[in-house]
Amino acid sequence: MKALVGLSMAIVPLHCAPGFAQDDLALNIRHTQECLAEKNDDERQTCVGKSANVCMQSDPGNSTVGMGFCLDEELRWWDARLNRVYSSYLASEKRDDQELKNIGSSAPEKAPALKEMQRSWIKYRDALCEHEAVQWGGGTGQGPAYLSCLLSETGRQIFVLEDRMNGWNQ
């Protein structure tokens, strides 16, 4: 069951929305993937939301519920990517910590610092996006604004983690 969700927003299952058939709407992540393949590192952020934007240009996608569906579907893709990148980076930091420990280094451990940074980022992202949502004063744009913010910030965090992992661990 897909739902339009936000911290303080009501949950609206898409199959319950008037005039909305979930089969009428689909997100094709290909648009985002193609954009990422074409862009350099400095331009990657412009690809975040690309597939959701195409989805929202369709007839059922241009409703508030449709927008929520499109944004949430792309957010799920980015969230899975974030989890893969973070897990890979954390494993790398743990290996580095173990190597340093094996040689008797007293350097601070990297993995706990990465975990704390990620936890703090999640709190920041959630607060930022809640603030974005309340700008709509409880109106129908609140849900899509919240999801759009989550999508943008999740993409941004992926690029931060990828850049740190690739730049510092080669």
Task: Give start and end residues of each alpha helix (H) in the chain.
Answer: 30-38, 50-56, 64-102, 110-134, 142-168
The pLDDT profile of the chain, 170 residues, written as one tens digit per residue, is: 233 333 333 334 444 455 555 556 889 999 999 999 999 999 999 999 999 999 999 888 888 999 999 999 999 999 999 999 999 999 999 999 999 999 999 999 999 999 999 999 999 999 999 999 999 998 999 999 999 999 999 999 999 999 999 885 44
Q: Tell me the residue ranges of DSSP E strands in the chain.
A: 3-4, 12-13
Judged by DSSP in three states, 4 sits in: strand
Statement: the pTM of the whole predicted model exceeds 0.75 = yes
Report the chain's C-alpha Rg in angstroms: 19
